[in-house]
Each structure stands twice: as structure tokens, then as C-alpha cells.
């Protein structure tokens, strides 16, 4: 038996170890699959799935029939025959997803609650007893080769602690694959077909303004339904007045109309928008102060809706989000018995599990005292950058055990999207296994997945995950957020060097296997982007401290490899396309379009910076300057200033990421208006004037650029490198001035 069996299932009673059931011998079926004709669709699917996988395992053809026959039978579903053989089983206690895997005489029963229990019993049996594995939708199934299949005696009845289980991530978009992982939630995603048990939904989120009280429909006629802004002394459509009876009535009407259109609905969300905006009218403020939370006004509205809904739809729950400014439970109000509280645990240090977050553990316990209907909305991704390292991989298991102990009935985990979400497939599989049974050993599960999905690279990737987990926990107070897009406060140069070595070992371990190499490179993508995003900072640290630097030798080439999008990533953050991320990286490492200056011929790419004409601005009148084609310029374009005068200048303000000691060069030329030479002035302010040079161009020299050396300077963010026409009164008038580029050579 697979070691997962000991933790994944509850054994009801000890049984003789020798009462095994032979299902196949030498590639020939020794058992018949039995599913009653009156079985529901999902139970019939369970039979066909079991037959298909047993054939893959044993090579045998398994017959499916409606009644038991002679010899060994595998009885599927909740038929009269199964109920007769299990007379003491409490079927109601199984709920919709509970499973039964029982040996009865010479037969095996695979059954469970309706509609999904039997199907889950089959997949649990295949995973934990037979040894099949479904690690990811983009990976081949793991199917053992066992022409002879003998199953030890089974005495298993199990109901998962969470009736709703959903990891929302791009790794689980395939609904049929989710069924194999026993995920039944599909909010915001493609539905699971009824033939595969259907799904459970919590009725969306942030519905008040988006669905039930749209400002476009009602604000003009009923501004009193919306929030009062005390500062502006007016109503605003940015939030709802949660204590306004008219708003209660309108939302109730909209909810009842929705339920009439969608009679199969079992949970419907009536919840605030994704903002902390709140009404400041006297009535709302009074309730908020009495209850100590915005959840007080919210519950007034939700309870009013739920009271009316219960009369017409007694089986429907009205859910609401306890999230952001409504997460704290109220002091005196209680949710009605048909209200479900969906607690969002966003505002916290995400390196900690919920029992180690005092305010959320306290809130959850209190909500559990107020209502038996509590769901959790948890988070396991970095929503500011799905790609970057985010070391919270070991947090969810402890949180799920806490949720189970607090009688939480549903868990929604919001994960990452895009093809390069950080260890997205590991997170999805691990989360699904733990939602089914939180008591499993999360490290053993992680080890199994990494070895199964990445092959021989698995141990090195586990070492990498340990490395970044240790890094973020090096200082107890280090904050792991989910929107800042930063790693510099916890991930050091030494960590990145060590991570790079581990990924090199991982790639070497799977060399020759294109599929596994691709997966390892994709897993490495987050570290690759950190090297580029923090390139100058890390280079400076290595130089200043005499440390090894294992980042790319050419950051520009590394950025172009990222931009090539080998892994076909469509998004890198919530509602942010991957192209936006590439553009961000290019603000500090823009493509080098011009020829290399002679001064930089022997330098490494990271030892000099090229700031072309688009980096300069014209002052005070922008109409006196424009980017023009210029074959003499390094990239075929230049910034052209027309005319002269002491006020006209082109200047470059140093970006923050280029702070440091540089030798500064400006490449420019000028065209005299007459026969007298034209002059230009160049200099640096930082913040006072550091230097000034005067350049002279005769009519014969006007078509040739000259490189001006402004010396070695320590530049701080905002330092101004400027160019002005004329420069001094001894020169003639200037027809035009062209600035090709500014380039910097590192002097540290």
C-alpha cells in the first residue's frame, strides 16, 4: 500500500491482513465492475474511469455490468446492493464528497456521498492503493505496471474536512484534471461537467456595486443608497450606505430576481467592493463604533437580505466577504443562520501560517463562534509579480490544519497565473492533497512532487526551496508581502549565488531530457528575473564586498532572453501582461541600439551605460527640440535643438538605479548660423554645479560628432547632465545643436 494511505484516509477498524482481493493476474481481469443502471452520471463515470485506469495498470479489459456476477466484483456507487452490504454505514455523514473503500467478503466497494463521493473514491483508490499519480495537467500520468494486481483488505470511510476545496490558479484550469485531485470548487473558472460530479461555488465576490446595486442604474435617482463622504459633504457611488433601508430593499429585490433566474444556486455572495471605502453618514458611523468594525453595518444589510431569502429559498446561503475593513467580527451582531462568512486573510506577513498571525487567528475563532458557516479566502502567490521567488511553500499545511480545527467548511486559495507562476504546479498539487487531508506530511508531499515532476532535479529544487525559506526567515521581523514586487529586503547576493548553483546542478541532473530540462528552466525563471531586475545593486555589492557574482555577464542579453518569452507567459501580475514586466525591466536596461563608443570597446557590457537621445528632455520650451533622423548619430537618431539662447537646454536627469561613481561622456555637435564657430556648453549639477565645458564647432566641423569627457563624478539620483547651445558670447549664433547620447563608464 502507498504510504499516503496511512495519512490520507481514516481506517474504521482493524482487519485481517490476509483478506486481500485479486483484481488481475498476468494481464487478465479477475474482477467485474458493477454499477447499477439507476446510478447517477458521476457514478457511471467513476466506473468507466476505473476500468480505463485498471487497464493501463494491468493490461486487462475490465467488464462493466449492472449486477454482481460470480467471482470478485468491484461495486461502485450507492446502489441498493451496496447499501445492503454496508447496513451500518451512515450515508448522510458522508456529505457530497465523502468516500467509501471497503472490502466486503471477496468483493470491493468503491462508493461515497452524492454526487462526487464515488468518483473521489475511485481516484483515491487509484492514487493511494494502486499508485497512480496526476502531478500536473502538463505532465504525463504516472501509471504503475502491474499485470498482477492484488489489493489488501480495505476498511476506509472518510469525509474531507472542507466541503469546498478550490485552489484558484492557472495550473488547474482543466476541470477534469481537478476532479482527479478532488478539487470541487470552480469559482471564476470553467465548470466541472455533471458527469464528473459538478462543482461547488460561493456565488462570486464584491457583488454589491458590480451586480446588485450598480451606481449607473441607481445613483442619480437614489443617492441616499450610496456612501456619504463627510469631507466633501456629498454622496459618492464608490461604496454603499450599508444601513440604508432603501438599499436593503433594492439589494434584496435584485438577489431574489437572480435566484429566480438561477434556481440551482446554493450560495450567493452579497459583499462589499474590493476597497476600504465606507459610508460616513451618522447612522453607519454609530453602528461601526458600536460594533468596532465595518462588519457591523455590512451584517445589517446582509442579514436583511438573508431574512427575506430564507422565506423563499430556505436551502440558499447568503455569503459575504469578511475582508479588509470588514474582517474583524462585530461586537454584538450575529450572522443569521443562512449567512456564510468568507474570511479573507490578506493583510498579514505571508511567511507565517494563520495560527501564527494573532489578529486573523482571533478573528477566525470569533467568527466560528458566531456561525457554523465559515469559508476562508487564503493566498499563496505574490500578486505584484507571480514570477519572483515567494517562500511561503510550507505555510499552507499549518493553516489548513488550523482551519480544520476551527470547523471551517470551505477553503479558497488564490494562486498565481501565467505560465511561469513561481512553482505553480507544485503549489496546486500540494494544496489539493492537503485540502483533502491536512494531516499529511507536507515535506514528504513536496519531496514526492519534486521528484515526480522534475525527476533527478527534485532534490536540488527542494534544497532551493529550503534556501529561500531560510532566507526570508533569517530575520524574524522580515515582511513577506504580496504586492511590493521586491526581494531586496530578504534575498541577498549570497542567497542568489547559492540558488544559481542549485539550479545549475538541477539542470545537469536532467541533461538530455528535454521535457525535464524545460521544467527546470521554467522553475529557474524567477531567479533569472531577479538577477536582471536587481543587476546593478547586486554588482555593486559584489564589487564593494569582494564577493562572487554568479549573475549574467551581459545583463542586456539576459533581458532579451527574458523578453523572448520562451515559456509563453501571458501575465506576470494581477491584470498585468508580461510585456509590461519586460518594459519595466527595460527602464533600467534599455536595449543598446547604437554602436559601441571606442572608449567602451574593451569593457564588459555591465561596465558602461548608454543613454540615448530619448532619455533627454528639452527646457524651457519643448517646441525647440525634437528627435530627428541623423545618419551620423550612433543609432541613426539624435535630439535636435533649434536656435540658441542661455535658457534653452537639453538635460538628462540620472535615474535612481544609476547612482554611483561614473566617468561621464556627452556626444554632441553644433551647426553655426554663419561663418563664425558655434559653441555649446555642457555640465553637471548634483545638486550644485560640478563641472562645465565649452565646445567649439566651425562650419566645417558641423557634421561631425565630438565626445566630451566631463570627468569622474559621484552622481546621485536626479543629477542633471545638461547641454546648451552657444555657450559663450564670443561664438556666433547657433543654427542647431544635436545630442547623440550620454554614456557612463563605471569608476568604482
| Arithmetic mean of pLDDT, 253-263 | 98
Instruction: Decide if 379 contacts 417 (C-beta within 8 A).
Output: no
Contacts of 220 (CB under 8 A, 6+ apart): none
The 10s digit of each residue's pLDDT in 450-459 is 999 999 999 9
Instruction: Decide if 288 contacts 333 (C-beta within 8 A).
Output: no
Instruction: Decide if 148 contacts 58 (C-beta within 8 A).
Output: yes
3-state secondary structure 576-607: EEHHHHHHHHHHHCCCCCCCCCHHHCCCCHHH
The 10s digit of each residue's pLDDT in 138-162 is 999 999 999 999 999 999 999 999 9
The 10s digit of each residue's pLDDT in 13-53 is 334 445 899 999 999 999 999 999 999 999 999 999 999 99
Question: Mean pLDDT for the chain?
Answer: 95
Instruction: Decide if 144 contacts 132 (C-beta within 8 A).
Output: yes
Same domain for 153 and 185, yes or no, is no
Give the CATH number for residue 734: 2.60.120.260
Residue 233 lies in a domain: no
Provide the pLDDT for residue 673.
85
Which runs of consecutive H residues, i.e. helices, occur in 457-589? Answer: 458-472, 493-509, 514-533, 535-545, 555-563, 578-588
Phi, then psi, of 150 in degrees rounded to 5: -115, 125
Angle between helices 358-370 and 395-405 (to 10 degrees): 30
The 10s digit of each residue's pLDDT in 555-602 is 999 999 999 999 999 999 999 999 999 999 999 898 898 999 999 999
Residue 238 lies in a domain: no
Chain centroid, CA 478 distance in Å: 21
Same domain for 150 and 208, yes or no, is no
Reply yes or no: is the peptide bond before residue 502 cis, omega within 30 of 0.
Answer: no
Q: Is the pLDDT of residue 507 over 90?
A: yes
Q: Is the pLDDT of residue 727 over 70?
A: no
Give the CATH number for residue 333: 3.20.20
Same domain for 149 and 270, yes or no, is no
Q: How far apart are CA 730 and CA 293, in angstroms?
A: 74
Provide the pLDDT for residue 644.
72
Same domain for 8 and 62, yes or no, is yes
Q: How far apart are CA 305 and CA 294, in angstroms?
A: 17
How large a percentage of the chain has pLDDT more than 90?
Answer: 91
Give the CATH number for residue 154: 3.30.379.10
Same domain for 12 and 138, yes or no, is yes
Q: How far apart are CA 458 and CA 506, in angstroms?
A: 7
Q: Return the DSSP state at 142.
A: B
First to last CA, the chain: 63
Residue 665 lies in a domain: yes
Q: How far apart are CA 348 and CA 362, in angstroms?
A: 13
| Arithmetic mean of pLDDT, 268-281 | 94
The 10s digit of each residue's pLDDT in 652-698 is 999 998 999 999 999 999 999 888 888 899 999 998 999 999 999 98
Chain centroid, CA 703 distance in Å: 54
Q: Is the pLDDT of residue 6 over 60?
A: no
- Of 376, 403, 381, 404, whose CA–CA distance to 392 is shortest? 381
Same domain for 280 and 408, yes or no, is yes
The C-alpha torsion from 185 through 140 and 528 to 464, rounded to 10°, is 80
Residue 97 lies in a domain: yes
Same domain for 254 and 206, yes or no, is yes
Which runs of consecutive H residues, i.e. helices, occur in 59-149? Answer: 80-85, 117-124
Provide the pLDDT for residue 678.
87
β-pair type (734-746, 637-642)? antiparallel
Same domain for 259 and 152, yes or no, is no
Domain boundary among 399, 415, 443: 443
Provide the pLDDT for residue 647.
81
Per the DSSP assignment, residues forming a β-bridge with 156 are 11, 101
652-661 burial, b at 16+ Cβ within 10 Å, e below that, comes to: bebeebbbbe
The 10s digit of each residue's pLDDT in 624-645 is 899 999 999 999 999 999 987 6
| Number of other CB atoms surrounding residue 507 within 10 Å | 16
Provide the pLDDT for residue 189.
96
Judged on CB neighbours under 10 Å (0-12, 13-18, 19+), 183 is buried
Same domain for 433 and 286, yes or no, is yes
Provide the pLDDT for residue 732.
66
Helix (H) or strand (E) holding 396: helix 395-405
Q: How far apart are CA 366 and CA 370, in angstroms?
A: 6
pTM of the model: 0.92
Residue 271 lies in a domain: yes
pLDDT, greater one: 701 or 288: 288
Provide the pLDDT for residue 514.
98
pLDDT, greater one: 646 or 168: 168
- Of 405, 468, 399, 459, whose CA–CA distance to 434 is shortest? 399
Q: How far apart are CA 451 and CA 455, in angstroms?
A: 5
Same domain for 610 and 665, yes or no, is yes
Residue 323 lies in a domain: yes
Residue 141 lies in a domain: yes
The 10s digit of each residue's pLDDT in 337-361 is 999 999 999 999 999 999 999 999 9
Provide the pLDDT for residue 733.
79
Domain that holds residue 22: 4-159
The 10s digit of each residue's pLDDT in 521-536 is 999 999 999 999 999 9
Same domain for 148 and 41, yes or no, is yes
Instruction: Decide if 269 contacts 410 (C-beta within 8 A).
Output: no
Reply yes or no: is the peptide bond before residue 76 cis, omega within 30 of 0.
Answer: no
How large a percentage of the chain has pLDDT more than 70?
Answer: 97
Same domain for 208 and 144, yes or no, is no
The C-alpha torsion from 285 through 288 and 292 to 296, rounded to 10°, is 180
Instruction: Decide if 223 contacts 286 (C-beta within 8 A).
Output: no
Domain boundary among 416, 443, 470: 443
Number of separate domains in the chain: 3
DSSP, residue by residue, 623-641: GGEEEEE-TTSTTSEEEEE
Amino acid at each position: 500500500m502507498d504510504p499516503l494511505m496511512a495519512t490520507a484516509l481514516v481506517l474504521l477498524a482493524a482487519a485481517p491482513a490476509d483478506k486481500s482481493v485479486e483484481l488481475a493476474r498476468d494481464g487478465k481481469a479477475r474482477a467485474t465492475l458493477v454499477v447499477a443502471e439507476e446510478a447517477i452520471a458521476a457514478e457511471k463515470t467513476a466506473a468507466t474511469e476505473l476500468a480505463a485506469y485498471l487497464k493501463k495498470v494491468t493490461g486487462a479489459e475490465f467488464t462493466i455490468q449492472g449486477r454482481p456476477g460470480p467471482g470478485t466484483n468491484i461495486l461502485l456507487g450507492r446502489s441498493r446492493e451496496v447499501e445492503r452490504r454496508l447496513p451500518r454505514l451512515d450515508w448522510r455523514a458522508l456529505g457530497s464528497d465523502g468516500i467509501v473503500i471497503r472490502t466486503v467478503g471477496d468483493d470491493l466497494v468503491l462508493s461515497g456521498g452524492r454526487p462526487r463521493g464515488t468518483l473521489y473514491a475511485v481516484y483515491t483508490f487509484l492514487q493511494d492503493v494502486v499508485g497512480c499519480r496526476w502531478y500536473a495537467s502538463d505532465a504525463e500520468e504516472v501509471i504503475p505496471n502491474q499485470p498482477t494486481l492484488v489489493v489488501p483488505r480495505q476498511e476506509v470511510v472518510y469525509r474531507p474536512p472542507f466541503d469546498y476545496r478550490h485552489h484558484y490558479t492557472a495550473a488547474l484550469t482543466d476541470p477534469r484534471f481537478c476532479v482527479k485531485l478532488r478539487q470541487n470548487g470552480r469559482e471564476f473558472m470553467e465548470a466541472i461537467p455533471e458527469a464528473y460530479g459538478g462543482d461547488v461555488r460561493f456565488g462570486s465576490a464584491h457583488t454589491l456595486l458590480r451586480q446588485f446595486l450598480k451606481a449607473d442604474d441607481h445613483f442619480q435617482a437614489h443617492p441616499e443608497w450610496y456612501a456619504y463622504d463627510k469631507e466633501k459633504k456629498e454622496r459618492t457611488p464608490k461604496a454603499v450606505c450599508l444601513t440604508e433601508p432603501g438599499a436593503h430593499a433594492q439589494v434584496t429585490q435584485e438577489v431574489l430576481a437572480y435566484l429566480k433566474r438561477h434556481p440551482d444556486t446554493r450560495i450567493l455572495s452579497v459583499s462589499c467592493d474590493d476597497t476600504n471605502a465606507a459610508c460616513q453618514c451618522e447612522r453607519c458611523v454609530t453602528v461601526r463604533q458600536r460594533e468596532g468594525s465595518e462588519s457591523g453595518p455590512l451584517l445589517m444589510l446582509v442579514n436583511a437580505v438573508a431574512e427575506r431569502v430564507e422565506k423563499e429559498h430556505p436551502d440558499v446561503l447568503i455569503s459575504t466577504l469578511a475582508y479588509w475593513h470588514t474582517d474583524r467580527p462585530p461586537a454584538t451582531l450575529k450572522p443569521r443562520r443562512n449567512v456564510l462568512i468568507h474570511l479573507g486573510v490578506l493583510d498579514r506577513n505571508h511567511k507565517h501560517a494563520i495560527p501564527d498571525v494573532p489578529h486573523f487567528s482571533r478573528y477566525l475563532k470569533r467568527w466560528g463562534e458566531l456561525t457554523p458557516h465559515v469559508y476562508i479566502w487564503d493566498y499563496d502567490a505574490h500578486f505584484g509579480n507571480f514570477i519572483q521567488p515567494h517562500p511561503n511553500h510550507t505555510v499552507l499545511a499549518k493553516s489548513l490544519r488550523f482551519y480544520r480545527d476551527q470547523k471551517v467548511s470551505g477553503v479558497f486559495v488564490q494562486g498565481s497565473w501565467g505560465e511561469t507562476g513561481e512553482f505553480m504546479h507544485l503549489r496546486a498539487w500540494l494544496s489539493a492533497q492537503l485540502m483533502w487531508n491536512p494531516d499529511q506530511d507536507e515535506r514528504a508531499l513536496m519531496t514526492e512532487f519534486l521528484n515526480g515532476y522534475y525527476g533527478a532535479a527534485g532534490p536540488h529544487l527542494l534544497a532551493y526551496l529550503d534556501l529561500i525559506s531560510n532566507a526570508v526567515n533569517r530575520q524574524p521581523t522580515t515582511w513577506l508581502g504580496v504586492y511590493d514586487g521586491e526581494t531586496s529586503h530578504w534575498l541577498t547576493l549570497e542567497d542568489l549565488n547559492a540558488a544559481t548553483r542549485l539550479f545549475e546542478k538541477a539542470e545537469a541532473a536532467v541533461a538530455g531530457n528535454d521535457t525535464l530540462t524545460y521544467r527546470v528552466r521554467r522553475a529557474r525563471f524567477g531567479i533569472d528575473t531577479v538577477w536582471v531586475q536587481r543587476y546593478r545593486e547586486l554588482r555593486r555589492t559584489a564589487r564593494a564586498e569582494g564577493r562572487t557574482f554568479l549573475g549574467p555577464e551581459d545583463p542586456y542579453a539576459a533581458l532579451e532572453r527574458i523578453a523572448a518569452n520562451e515559456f509563453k507567459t501571458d501575465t506576470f501580475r494581477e491584470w498585468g501582461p508580461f510585456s509590461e514586466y519586460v518594459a519595466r525591466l527595460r527602464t533600467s536596461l534599455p536595449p543598446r541600439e547604437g554602436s559601441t563608443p571606442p572608449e567602451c570597446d574593451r569593457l564588459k557590457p555591465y561596465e558602461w551605460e548608454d543613454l540615448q537621445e530619448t532619455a533627454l528632455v528639452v527646457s524651457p520650451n519643448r517646441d525647440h527640440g525634437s528627435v530627428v533622423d541623423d545618419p551620423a548619430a550612433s543609432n541613426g537618431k539624435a535630439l535636435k535643438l533649434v536656435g540658441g539662447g542661455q535658457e534653452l537646454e537639453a538635460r538628462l536627469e540620472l535615474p535612481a538605479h544609476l547612482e554611483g561613481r561614473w566617468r561621464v561622456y556627452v556626444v554632441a555637435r553644433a551647426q553655426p548660423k554663419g561663418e563664425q564657430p558655434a559653441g555649446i556648453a555642457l555640465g553637471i549639477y548634483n545638486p550644485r554645479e560640478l563641472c562645465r565645458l565649452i565646445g567649439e564647432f566651425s562650419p566645417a566641423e558641423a557634421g561631425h560628432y565630438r565626445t566630451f569627457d566631463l570627468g569622474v563624478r559621484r552622481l546621485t539620483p536626479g543629477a542633471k547632465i545638461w547641454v546648451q547651445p552657444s555657450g559663450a558670447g564670443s561664438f556666433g549664433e547657433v543654427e542647431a545643436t544635436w545630442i547623440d547620447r550620454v554614456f557612463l563608464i563605471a569608476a568604482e
